Chains A and B, each alone.
Chain A
Amino acid sequence: MSLNFGFFKTSLRIICANRLAATGALIILLFVLLALAAPTMMRLHLLGDPNQLNLNGLDKDGMPRSPGHGYLLGSDNLGRDVLSRVIYGARVSLLVGVASMLTATLIGVTVGLLSGLYGGKLDLALMRFTEMNLTIPSILLAMAFTSLIGDNGRIMHLHPAALPWHFLDVTLKRGLLSVFLVIGFVSWPGMARIVRAQVLGVKEREFVLAARALGASHWRLIWRHLLPNILPTVIVLAAMTTANTILLEAGLGYLGIGVPPPAPDWGTMITEGQPYFATAPHLVIVPGVAIVLTVLAFNVLGQGLQEQMGPRQRP
C-alpha cells in the first residue's frame, strides 16, 4: 500500500467516474474551501466576526434580524452574523467529523484485522467487547468520556496548544479534542465488524495462502495482502462514518455537551435559535441546512464510491 502520487490519481479517477461521488466530493470541497478561507474573508471584511456581539445586528425591538437586512443569512439573538457563524461552524464540524472518523477507523480496522486474522480466543474477546460497545447508548459514553479527557478532566490533562493542530485559532480548539475523541470512541464498532468479515473472506483466498506458505510474516501479510484488499471497503465506510460523526457532533452540541459555547457549532446554534423559531426561523433552518448538506455530501460520496469500487453491491 504505497501512498504515492498514483494513489491520488487513481482516487481522483474513481471519484470523477461516478456522478454521485463527484457531486459529494464537490460539495465537501466547497465547504472545506469556505472553512479554510473564513479567517481571510473576515480580515478582508467580507465576513463578520462569528463571536462579535453586535447591537447593529438587532432590530429596534432587540430581536434577531431576518436574512437580507445587511446580513445575507440574518443575525442571531446576540446580533451575530449567522452566515459567518455557519461558515466558522463548518470548521468545527468538518474538523471534529474527520478527526473522529480517523479515530474510529484506526480502532475499527485494528480490532477487525486482529479479530479476523488471528481468530480463536482473541476474536471471541474482541467481538464481545465490540458488542458491549454497541449496546451502550453513544450519548452516555460521550458524557463520561468528555469528563475524563475534557479540559478540566482529572485523568489526562492535554493542552490544545501541545497538539499538532496548533495552527488553528484559539476559539476553535477549546473542547474540540474531547469531543472528537468521544465520537471516535463510540463510532468504531460497526467498522470493526465489517472489517473482520472482509478479512475472514480475503484470508482464505489463494494469494494469501500462497504468501503464508512462502513464509510471509504477519506484518507483511497485513500490509501487503490484507489491507490493500479491504481498502475499498474501509474508504467507503470512512466516508459514511464521517457523515455519522458529523451528525453525532451536531447532536451533542444540540444537547449542550458538545464543543463549548463561544465556538460556533451547528448543533449549538440550533439549540440557541429554538426559542426564536416563531419570529426568526432562519436561526434554526440555516444551521440545519448546513448539517444536512455536509452529511448528505459524505453519504453521497460513500454511496458513489461503493458503486464504483464494489461492483458486487450494485451491478
Chain B
Amino acid sequence: MLTRLLTRFWWSAVTLLGTAFLTFLLVNAVPGDVARVIAGSKASAEVLQEIHLKYHLDDPVLQRLGFYLIQLAHGDLGHSYVTDQSVAEAILIRFPTTAALTSLAVVMWVALAVPLGVLTARFRSSWFDRTTLVVATVSLSLPAFWLARILQYCLAYKLGWFPVGFFRSFVDLLLPAATLAILMVGYYARLVHTNMVEVLDSLYVRAARAKGASETRVLFKHALRNALIPVVTMLGMDVASLLGGVLFIENVFALPGIGNLAVQSVLNLDVPMIMGTVLFSATLVVGANWVVDLLYGWIDPRIKSAS
C-alpha cells in the first residue's frame, strides 16, 4: 500500500512538472509585447527596453523556463506583471471564497444526487426514473454563465431573495452555490444510477436480500458502498478543479475567487499570474487523485489487500 502511494506520488510530481513545462511554453508563445502590458500603451521605447531587461523577456524561452522552475523550487511563484502583487498571496487571498463556494455546492449536489441515483436505480424504467433522466440531461446541458445570469435576474433582482452583485458573507454564496449544484447534480445522479444498476444485479446483493436484509440496508449498506467508488473518483477530480477556480459563476456573481483571478489574468496577459493559477489548479487536481487513491482502501478493503 505504502509503495503504491509513493509510486503514485512520484508520478504526480512528474505530471505536475510536465504541466508546468507545457503551460510555460504555451503562455510564452502568446504574441503581443508583455512589456506593453506592464508599462501601458504610451510607454517610451527606453522604458520598454528596461522592462525587457528586468523580466529577461529577450532570453530564450528554455532559459526562462529553467529560471522559472528554479524559482518554483524555492516556493516563489513570482509577482504579477499588472499589479506587482505576489502571485502566491493573490491566490491565497482569493482561495477562501472559492473554497466556501465549492464546499457549499458539493454538499448541495451530493445530498441531492445520491438519493436520486439510488432511487432511480431501485425503480428502474419507472416514470420517476425517466423523468429524472430527462431533468438530469437538462442539468448537464445548461451553460453556467447563462444559468447564473438568469437565476441572478429572477431570484435576486426581480424577487429580491438574494443580494445582487456584491459579496459580504457566507449567505451571499447561497445562490452561486445553488447554481453550481444545479449544473453538477444531473451528472452525479446519473453516475450514481449507472453504478447502482450494475451493483444491484450482482450476486452479493441477491445474497443480502435472500438473507432477509431490509431494503434500506440492501440499498445503502450493501449496494451503495460499492457503487460509490467511481463516484468518489469523479468527485475528487471535480472538486479539485472547482477549487482551482469556478470560472463562469464567480465571473457572473462578481465573487473575488480564483476563477475570476484566472479570467482576468488571461485577458490581461499577466503571465506569472496565469502560470500561478494554472499550477495551483493542477496541483489540486493531482493531489485530489492521490487522496482518492488513499480513500479507495477505506471504501473498498479489497483494493488494499490486492496491492
* The residue from A135, A148, A303 contacting B286, defined by CB atoms under 8 A apart: A135
Q: Provided the pairs A141-B26, A147-B31, A296-B138 are in contact, do residues A274 and B149 lie with their beta carbons within 8 angstroms?
A: yes
Alpha-carbon distance between A281 and B153 when the two chains are bound, in angstroms: 9
Q: List 27 A-B contacts (CB under 8 A).
A: A128-B14, A128-B18, A135-B16, A135-B19, A136-B19, A136-B22, A140-B23, A140-B26, A140-B262, A140-B274, A140-B277, A143-B266, A145-B26, A147-B29, A153-B31, A243-B140, A251-B144, A278-B153, A281-B153, A284-B150, A288-B149, A292-B142, A296-B141, A299-B137, A299-B140, A303-B137, A314-B197
Main secondary structure of the interface of B (DSSP, over half): helix
Chain A residue nearest in CB terms to B282: A135
Q: How many residues of A contact B (CB 8 A)?
A: 49
**Are B15 and A131 in contact, with the CB atoms below 8 A?**
yes
Alpha-carbon distance between A296 and B137 when the two chains are bound, in angstroms: 7
Does chain B have a CB within 8 A of A68?
no
Does chain A have a CB within 8 A of B239?
no
Does chain A have a CB within 8 A of B281?
yes
Binding site for B on A (CB under 8 A): 128-129, 131-137, 139-141, 143-145, 147-148, 152-155, 243, 247, 250-251, 254-257, 267, 270, 274, 277-278, 281, 284-285, 288, 291-292, 295-296, 299-300, 303, 312-315
- Closest Cβ of chain A: how far from B305's Cβ, in Å? 23
- Closest Cβ of chain B: how far from A113's Cβ, in Å? 22
Does chain A have a CB within 8 A of B30?
yes
Residues on B with beta carbons closer than 8 Å to the beta carbon of A291 = 143, 146
- Closest Cβ of chain A: how far from B200's Cβ, in Å? 10
* The residue from A135, A292, A296, A300 contacting B285, defined by CB atoms under 8 A apart: A135
Alpha-carbon distance between A60 and B134 when the two chains are bound, in angstroms: 43
**Are B145 and A251 in contact, with the CB atoms below 8 A?**
yes
Residues on B with beta carbons closer than 8 Å to the beta carbon of A288 = 143, 146, 149-150
- Closest Cβ of chain B: how far from A193's Cβ, in Å? 12
Chain B residue nearest in CB terms to A278: B157
Q: Provided the pairs A140-B278, A154-B31 are in contact, do residues A299 and B19 lie with their beta carbons within 8 angstroms?
A: no
Does chain A have a CB within 8 A of B194?
yes
Residues on A with beta carbons closer than 8 Å to the beta carbon of B194 = 313-314
Q: How many residues of B contact A (CB 8 A)?
A: 49
Residues on A with beta carbons closer than 8 Å to the beta carbon of B22 = 132-133, 136
Alpha-carbon distance between A27 and B240 when the two chains are bound, in angstroms: 35
**Are B281 and A137 in contact, with the CB atoms below 8 A?**
yes
Residues on A with beta carbons closer than 8 Å to the beta carbon of B14 = 128
- Closest Cβ of chain B: how far from A64's Cβ, in Å? 16
* The residue from B138, B146, B244 contacting A137, defined by CB atoms under 8 A apart: B244
Binding site for A on B (CB under 8 A): 11, 14-16, 18-19, 22-23, 26-27, 29-32, 133, 137-138, 140-146, 149-150, 153, 157, 194, 197-198, 201, 241, 244-245, 247-248, 251, 262-263, 266-267, 274, 277-278, 281-282, 285-286
Main secondary structure of the interface of A (DSSP, over half): helix
**Are A135 and B150 in contact, with the CB atoms below 8 A?**
no
Chain A residue nearest in CB terms to B244: A137
**Are A139 and B150 in contact, with the CB atoms below 8 A?**
no
Residues on B with beta carbons closer than 8 Å to the beta carbon of A247 = 141, 143
Residues on B with beta carbons closer than 8 Å to the beta carbon of A256 = 267
- Closest Cβ of chain B: how far from A22's Cβ, in Å? 14
Residues on B with beta carbons closer than 8 Å to the beta carbon of A250 = 143, 146
Alpha-carbon distance between A145 and B84 when the two chains are bound, in angstroms: 26
Residues on A with beta carbons closer than 8 Å to the beta carbon of B141 = 243, 247, 292, 295-296, 299
**Are A148 and B150 in contact, with the CB atoms below 8 A?**
no
Residues on A with beta carbons closer than 8 Å to the beta carbon of B138 = 292, 296
- Closest Cβ of chain A: how far from B130's Cβ, in Å? 9
* 9 nearest A-B pairs in the assembled complex, by CB-CB distance: A144-B26, A135-B282, A288-B146, A295-B141, A296-B141, A132-B18, A147-B30, A135-B285, A254-B145
Alpha-carbon distance between A185 and B236 when the two chains are bound, in angstroms: 24
A136-B282, A288-B150 given; name 8 further pairs at CB < 8 Å. Answer: A139-B263, A140-B27, A140-B274, A147-B30, A255-B267, A284-B153, A288-B143, A295-B143
Q: Provided the pairs A148-B29, A251-B248, A315-B197 are in contact, do residues A134 and B285 lie with their beta carbons within 8 angstroms?
A: yes
Alpha-carbon distance between A155 and B140 when the two chains are bound, in angstroms: 37
Q: Provided the pairs A147-B30, A254-B248, A270-B146 are in contact, do residues A137 and B278 lie with their beta carbons within 8 angstroms?
A: yes
Residues on A with beta carbons closer than 8 Å to the beta carbon of B29 = 144, 147-148, 155
- Closest Cβ of chain B: how far from A76's Cβ, in Å? 16
Residues on A with beta carbons closer than 8 Å to the beta carbon of B282 = 135-136
Residues on B with beta carbons closer than 8 Å to the beta carbon of A129 = 18
Residues on A with beta carbons closer than 8 Å to the beta carbon of B197 = 314-315
- Closest Cβ of chain A: how far from B98's Cβ, in Å? 13
- Closest Cβ of chain B: how far from A89's Cβ, in Å? 13
Residues on B with beta carbons closer than 8 Å to the beta carbon of A314 = 194, 197
Residues on B with beta carbons closer than 8 Å to the beta carbon of A134 = 285
**Are B146 and A284 in contact, with the CB atoms below 8 A?**
yes
Chain B residue nearest in CB terms to A274: B149
Alpha-carbon distance between A73 and B197 when the two chains are bound, in angstroms: 44
- Closest Cβ of chain A: how far from B82's Cβ, in Å? 16
Alpha-carbon distance between A153 and B30 when the two chains are bound, in angstroms: 9
Most buried by B among A128, A141, A243, A254: A254
Residues on A with beta carbons closer than 8 Å to the beta carbon of B157 = 278
Alpha-carbon distance between A148 and B25 when the two chains are bound, in angstroms: 11
- Closest Cβ of chain B: how far from A237's Cβ, in Å? 14
